[in-house]
A and B are shown apart, each in its own frame.
Chain A
Amino acid sequence: MNFWEKMLNIDRRWIYLAIAIIVIVPFFARMGLPVVPTREVESIYNLVDSLGPEDAIFVGWDFDPGTEAENQPMGVAVLRHAFSRHVPVFITAYYPLGQALAQQAVGGIFDTRVPGNYAFVPWTEWESMRAAGFAGRDSLETAWTAAGHALPEGARGWVFEGVDYAFLGYQPSFYLVILGMGTSIASQYPTDTNGNPVPEMPILQAHKTLRDVDLAVTLAGSTTCMTWVIYGTSRVGLRVAFGVTAVMATDYFPYIQSGQIVGMMGGLRGAAEYEVLETQGGYTDVTGKAYRGMDVQSLAHIAIILMVVLGNIAFFAGGFNKKTALKARR
């Protein structure tokens, strides 16, 4: 067995070890490489950036834990952007597991022990102000702070349940739910995940159907994202943006060109681009998990390219392209 053959027959556990080291090291030695946003992500960011308290968006947690590393930072970034601009957000989930991941995401954003997060006001806690008459978000916030509630140190603002945010959660046969929300959101979600009455919420009174919603961002690790296009865009003209895994991203470029989707965050890179845009826009002080993950992904991609190159050098230098087969490998 010559050198090239030995190289091609290398025990695959060495390759696994190399990848493990390459993936772990950047967490301790940050590179901080610059991320340049693409137009596919910028178009989503610009659309959310143009919205305000009178508008509304849906964020669909349409993935399960398998793709959490890629999809979760996208959802967190979009939520932070929306909360900063007081754009009301409806949260839904295609899978039961997606609902739990969404709860983890909002739980992280509402943890005011971490600077830069948002103080959450549950629906039941501002009941007395509701009883006095709801007259818009600004007056609610004024009344809330006048009642002696101080914004925790480091927090960026308040998020009022039922005004800024409604956690609708999971429903079975979600494609039918999207169809149904085209005529009435309340008919599909009489209560939210906390059991609060959705039809009474100001967010719903201002946005009764999907026709009143400005954007749906679906975060998916499978073709479930297409459900929003098929039943939302084509039926009621809902604007949809995708946040999909990197391996899926290539499938959806035709939908961007045809105008069926507004834009797309592809993989961890897409989430990192959104985080960079948010930081540049002044909505966050520091970039998030996705941006930190780009160092790892950079080195992993370089390592895989090097392996492809080395594998090809060994293959051709050893003359294996002229032989029928290599000897047995482990």
Chain B
Amino acid sequence: MIALVGGVIMIIQYFVPHRISQDVFNYYTSWGPIVATFALILGVGSVTRVHMYKIRMKSTNWAYSLAVILPMFLMPVFALLPGSLLGGTDGPGFFDFMYSRVQIPIQATMFSMLAFYIASAAFRAFRAKSLLATVLLVAAVFVMLAQVPIGDLAGRWLPNTGQWILRFPNLAAKRAIELGVGFGMLATSLKIIFGVERGWLGGAGE
């Protein structure tokens, strides 16, 4: 009922430029982040419960749950520690240290490893086995060369061809996909608002 009323009000409000309608909208956008902040507490509680259960039961890969729980609760504690613990009096605290010296390198490393996997996969799996696979392969070569300046050394025709692939065939295909996804989202949103789809309330399969 809350989803139905809230959803319908927000749809109607979008098309009504009256001041009362705008006030409702402003009220909603002011409350939204506050509700979301409390939802964050709910999320932390839920994650904690799931991973604590895995740790207690010593289930498969339970040590990974420990790696989730410990930083999640230790980082807020680090944020409260003064910068003087690192030797300075007004320098960045231990939280900043953990962020810039641990979290950023970890995330950057994870993403960087993609280059190695892509190279290996390209060698082992990217085959011109059929006409469609060959078209994909040729298009990929042109687009890859268009993305780097070394492609310009062969002449402007090469990057221009790569850009043409992106601007026309790629655009047409993406637009078709986006339209399909858009209509799907519209249908799903209406189903949720009018209570036809209730899976998000939980209890699926019961």
Contact = CB atoms under 8 A, between A and B. Distances in A.
Interface of A: 8, 10, 12, 15-16, 18-20, 23, 33-36, 38, 64-69, 97, 100-101, 104, 171-173, 176-177, 179-180, 183-184, 187-188, 246, 249-251, 253-254, 257, 266-267, 269, 272, 294, 297-305, 307-308, 310-312, 315, 321, 329
Interface of B: 22, 25-26, 29-30, 32-33, 36-37, 40, 96, 99-100, 103-104, 106-108, 110-112, 115-116, 118-120, 122-124, 126-129, 137, 140-141, 144-145, 147-153, 156, 159, 163, 166-167, 170-171, 174-175, 178
Contacts of A65: 103-104, 106-108
Given A253-B167, A304-B144, A173 B150 contact: no
B104 A68 contact: yes
A77 B175 CA distance: 30
A301 B146 CA distance: 10
Contacts of B33: 171-173, 176-177, 188
Contact of A16 (B99, B111, B120, B124): B120
A218 B37 CA distance: 23
Chain A, interface SS category: helix
A328 to B, nearest CB: 13
Nearest 10 interchain pairs by C-beta: A298-B150, A33-B149, A176-B32, A173-B36, A180-B29, A65-B107, A307-B123, A298-B148, A65-B104, A66-B111
A297 to B, nearest CB: 5
B148 A250 contact: no
9 contacts: A16-B119, A16-B120, A36-B149, A64-B107, A66-B110, A69-B108, A188-B33, A253-B171, A269-B147
B171 A329 contact: no
Contacts of B100: 100, 104
A26 B11 CA distance: 54
